[in-house]
Structure 1
């Protein structure tokens, strides 16, 4: 939450007016004629859908519907603590992390637990240290007792301490952080700790915090702060943090921007395209849409529990990305976008916006697509939070010639508030459905994305080596989309250099477990070996889990590494 949320909580009626303002357009527009350059030959990391996340994105009773979440490939969420008391915008408490965990698990999403949301008010009303530590004890014990919940990624110890911490009553925050960190660790030494979750990035504040945490052995495992009203700050803030971290002798931390976009931005697809582009370039592990209005809507992406808004389609295009994120650069302070290249289908997927007029997308490194390509241009409007958009608008479908691996596409009459998708694919077509799913693109829980020249797409998932507790169970969830309900042959690319057969559990859509066996291979990180099995999938989206450890599965053996799955 942020300072703006205090206003949003107090002024319930004007929220409708604010939504109407968003619909008519609030994103900045620079002069027309800008260029977004997409270098398909310069990948910089695997597609992980890092910025598809939300603060309080889910509510109890499966809100919004799974069908609206699966296409987005939700990376992660920040949800209130068990026993939530928080009443944002006057709503009843909701989104309890342990109660929404089954739905998050069904769609392949992890979650961070925000501990101070045990309090009903925002800004939080401090009671006493005895009260707070008793609440910490209760929250942690509730999580430890939830032995079928495996998707908790971390404890967020406080929220916006630069705004909400009561120094007069509780003492300095940095001392309070140490005390709370030690209280959590005394009960749970395994779950990562997240912080400091400041409302803005401030170097001097962060330096004092990191120094104290370093000197007391209480550094967060995941560093986070909020970027709420100026995507142009993101790159500089991340670079400054990395420099600060290094100067203090702190090993690189995982990074989450666990709230992004202001009230006037969060429902504007063009503006969100700019945020996602900068978050991807910044290399964040996760990023969550800020919560400003109602529970159970994935922060305004869904209306009436199951209907997409205009901004949902931007995240659907993002969810469709596979393979590698590729480098994008812009000539403008407004126009921006992000792109991916799926080498298995030879498809380039570009999403962009935030500028009006006629602008240009220049693509380079297209040699693998051939000399002739099909170019499809779509748009999605800024519909606000209450207007469903049943489908994006197809603006054009053309056949274009690629010269020296390059192509220039003019996009006329852009609206700054809308987002646009540019799909470039071979004229000869692509498979009717995505058949190969790279492990590094999947939802990876307590394992590691690694690289290898012999791996499909250059990446794989290894160190799948934990079992025995829901806090360390290792598994990989593949969200797949198939055209028909039938049995599919699933081929798994793997490596296993243990010298003996390794095993993992296989389950899909929450069904029964079977065991996959991986005969030994010559070396770790050296791929080419495969095993095959049969999976019976429903038409549309399915979640396939390969696990070393998971609830209701006794646990695998050995340490097989995963390259990809392929469904035919």
Structure 2
């Protein structure tokens, strides 16, 4: 979390940590559009203490980032982080804004304490606090986006073993208390400050043997070279699970980047790329400075240079595709087959480099490649827009083009947008369900599904902790009524229903006639929706607050606005 001493490597001329030798040049980032990695879910677009109440930050600045996940303090927060004079960012108070932005959140329970490192009082005090926090969640029947209680933060150095006993025993005791009150909301941890094989073996063995395994495994990646270690850390963790007979857990890196790295756009790109490549479920920028600023992506509620890197990442749709770094030149890329464009966000090297993109046959014999960069303004200077670099038409040869990027700054992030040369990309009309915010349901693959993915097991309707729905954040050019077409499957043999609501309005019912089989798509239903210009949130729900609940079951492939 907020540690006072972390080793840093400084680029003397700029005073910044960069993931590149200052004189490096002549490398190639390779993008293989035909090699799918996973659906776009904006894994890295999250933050710790990123959201406060009111207009800090403005919802309009959150929408373009397609925020995946947040870690917020619990109701009754007393934590005063990084020089703050009053507590902020209560997870219950910000829940409506977080939901509107399309994100989920963990509650970091020990931030009920004022000081960090935490000052342990007694077990009676801690258990009383836990009951109060969990009961506040249970009473919040309109809040649907709390998808985990984080039981402690960095216990490898903040747990008071002398007064509280071992952390493993404390974990077990706390999990059993929470489960006696709330058997539904996931429990996440151990949230150690760095990846530690021996610590995790001990922790998971105890958790397995006491029936208190976390639903999501969490650790932090906060040192300067940690983006280089993520692949090895994930592989080692998966081997531990297998050796202990534990089923695979989703992985959350809910703090990443060191204090000197967090505002360098190219470092953010390195983390984005490695989180996508190695199957991380969600990741949150660390909270080192001001809360409520999207972790420095905003200054005075306006963008800094790093904001643009995350906005480009937020614009990704369809499928994350394979990238192969060239030395320090790293990137993340996505292909949207409905709009027929490739979006590459990259950086990390200096000098004259190249981005080679393969598998462009579907875009035609010529493509337009537009290149912009973020700038390097840091945390407290605004960058009002990206900086244009180049735009040119390329002949596609053997399905490939190579785009030169001259005079790169190793701290800058860059976006390369590739579209067919004939005709500009249109506004996004098709939204894949697997790219949306999926709550208490699961993503699956199917050959007949649009873009190869869909969402199924949208089954929960009991209460705000297990209701199932899919939230689509859509962006339309004008205020008007659109025809919304939904691709679906329903093999129940009878008509199924779900609730439809948008922008917090009243629910209506959508009916899905029966189809031939689960996971087999091609059937559609349509309905009019009246949307405002710009961003809107459309919910399709089996269960949701203010909705009585759907009947039967349906799987969702996509929605299309026309």
Q: TM-score, normalised by structure 1?
A: 0.96
Kindly report which structure 2 residues correspond to 1:511-526, keeping only aligned pairs within 5 A, or say none: 511-526=505-520
Query: For the Cα contact (< 8 Å) 1:345–1:430, is it kept in 2?
Result: no
Q: Decide whether aligned partners of structure 1 residues 186 and 357 sit closer, same or farther in structure 2, where only a CA change above 3 A counts.
A: same
Is 1:300 aligned to residue 291 of structure 2?
A: no
Secondary structure of the residue aligned to 2:292 is coil
Q: Decide whether aligned partners of structure 1 residues 539 and 354 sit closer, same or farther in structure 2, where only a CA change above 3 A counts.
A: same
Match of 1:242 in 2: 238
Kindly report which structure 2 residues correspond to 1:138-177, keeping only aligned pairs within 5 A, or say none: 138-177=132-171
Is 1:285 aligned to residue 281 of structure 2?
A: yes
Match of 2:247 in 1: 251
Secondary structure of the residue aligned to 1:227 is coil
Tell me the CA shift for residue 303 of structure 1. Answer: 1.5
Q: Decide whether aligned partners of structure 1 residues 393 and 44 sit closer, same or farther in structure 2, where only a CA change above 3 A counts.
A: same
Q: Decide whether aligned partners of structure 1 residues 24 and 284 sit closer, same or farther in structure 2, where only a CA change above 3 A counts.
A: same
Tell me the CA shift for residue 430 of structure 1. Answer: 4.4
Match of 1:362 in 2: 356
Once residues 103 and 455 of structure 2 are traced to their aligned partners in structure 1, the CA distance between those partners, rounded to angstroms, is: 17
Tell me the CA shift for residue 34 of structure 1. Answer: 1.4
Tell me the CA shift for residue 20 of structure 1. Answer: 12
Match of 1:549 in 2: 543
Query: For the Cα contact (< 8 Å) 2:16–2:261, is it kept in 1?
Result: no
Is 1:379 aligned to residue 370 of structure 2?
A: no
Is 1:117 aligned to residue 119 of structure 2?
A: no
Match of 2:267 in 1: 271
Once residues 330 and 273 of structure 1 are traced to their aligned partners in structure 2, the CA distance between those partners, rounded to angstroms, is: 12
Q: Deviations over 1:182-217 (max 9, x none)?
A: 111110000111000000001011100000000101
Once residues 163 and 423 of structure 1 are traced to their aligned partners in structure 2, the CA distance between those partners, rounded to angstroms, is: 44
Once residues 15 and 357 of structure 2 are traced to their aligned partners in structure 1, the CA distance between those partners, rounded to angstroms, is: 31
Secondary structure of the residue aligned to 1:90 is coil
Once residues 44 and 242 of structure 2 are traced to their aligned partners in structure 1, the CA distance between those partners, rounded to angstroms, is: 25
Runs of at least 5 residues in structure 1 that lack an aligned partner in the other structure? 9-17
Runs of at least 5 residues in structure 2 that lack an aligned partner in the other structure? none
Once residues 311 and 384 of structure 1 are traced to their aligned partners in structure 2, the CA distance between those partners, rounded to angstroms, is: 8
Query: For the Cα contact (< 8 Å) 1:365–1:405, is it kept in 2?
Result: yes
Match of 1:3 in 2: 3
Query: For the Cα contact (< 8 Å) 1:354–1:417, is it kept in 2?
Result: yes
Is 1:26 aligned to residue 21 of structure 2?
A: no
Q: Deviations over 1:367-392 (max 9, x none)?
A: 11111000000100121122111110
Query: For the Cα contact (< 8 Å) 2:309–2:413, is it kept in 1?
Result: yes
Secondary structure of the residue aligned to 2:220 is strand
Is 1:414 aligned to residue 405 of structure 2?
A: no
Once residues 122 and 452 of structure 1 are traced to their aligned partners in structure 2, the CA distance between those partners, rounded to angstroms, is: 48
Choose which of 308, 312, 319 in structure 1 pairs with 2:307.
Answer: 312
Once residues 414 and 524 of structure 2 are traced to their aligned partners in structure 1, the CA distance between those partners, rounded to angstroms, is: 38
Tell me the CA shift for residue 24 of structure 1. Answer: 5.5
Kindly report which structure 2 residues correspond to 1:448-527, keeping only aligned pairs within 5 A, or say none: 448-527=442-521
Tell me the CA shift for residue 554 of structure 1. Answer: 1.0
Once residues 423 and 79 of structure 2 are traced to their aligned partners in structure 1, the CA distance between those partners, rounded to angstroms, is: 51
Query: Structure 1 residues 193-202 or 87-96, which shifts more?
Result: 87-96
Match of 2:67 in 1: 74
Tell me the CA shift for residue 19 of structure 1. Answer: 13
Tell me the CA shift for residue 563 of structure 1. Answer: 0.2
Kindly report which structure 2 residues correspond to 1:389-404, keeping only aligned pairs within 5 A, or say none: 389-404=383-398
Q: Deviations over 1:252-306 (max 9, x none)?
A: 001100100011111100111111101111111100000011111010011212x
Once residues 82 and 136 of structure 2 are traced to their aligned partners in structure 1, the CA distance between those partners, rounded to angstroms, is: 26
Once residues 288 and 361 of structure 1 are traced to their aligned partners in structure 2, the CA distance between those partners, rounded to angstroms, is: 28
Q: TM-score, normalised by structure 2?
A: 0.97
Match of 1:325 in 2: 320
| CA RMSD of superposed structures (Å) | 1.6
Secondary structure of the residue aligned to 2:208 is helix
Query: For the Cα contact (< 8 Å) 2:472–2:537, is it kept in 1?
Result: yes
Once residues 90 and 527 of structure 1 are traced to their aligned partners in structure 2, the CA distance between those partners, rounded to angstroms, is: 54
Query: For the Cα contact (< 8 Å) 2:6–2:258, is it kept in 1?
Result: no
Kindly report which structure 2 residues correspond to 1:431-446, keeping only aligned pairs within 5 A, or say none: 431-446=425-440
- Large movers: runs of 4+ above 2 Å: 18-26, 429-432
Tell me the CA shift for residue 2 of structure 1. Answer: 4.1
Secondary structure of the residue aligned to 1:299 is coil
Choose which of 547, 558, 561 in structure 1 pairs with 2:555.
Answer: 561
Query: For the Cα contact (< 8 Å) 2:71–2:107, is it kept in 1?
Result: yes
Secondary structure of the residue aligned to 1:284 is coil
Query: For the Cα contact (< 8 Å) 1:35–1:361, is it kept in 2?
Result: yes
Is 1:528 aligned to residue 519 of structure 2?
A: no
Is 1:183 aligned to residue 174 of structure 2?
A: no
Query: For the Cα contact (< 8 Å) 1:23–1:268, is it kept in 2?
Result: no
Secondary structure of the residue aligned to 2:553 is coil
Is 1:64 aligned to residue 57 of structure 2?
A: yes
Is 1:348 aligned to residue 342 of structure 2?
A: yes
Q: Decide whether aligned partners of structure 1 residues 493 and 287 sit closer, same or farther in structure 2, where only a CA change above 3 A counts.
A: same
Once residues 553 and 487 of structure 1 are traced to their aligned partners in structure 2, the CA distance between those partners, rounded to angstroms, is: 23
Match of 2:33 in 1: 40
Once residues 131 and 25 of structure 1 are traced to their aligned partners in structure 2, the CA distance between those partners, rounded to angstroms, is: 43
Q: Deviations over 1:375-413 (max 9, x none)?
A: 000100121122111110111110001101111111110
Tell me the CA shift for residue 7 of structure 1. Answer: 8.6
Match of 1:14 in 2: none
Once residues 19 and 356 of structure 1 are traced to their aligned partners in structure 2, the CA distance between those partners, rounded to angstroms, is: 16
Match of 1:213 in 2: 207
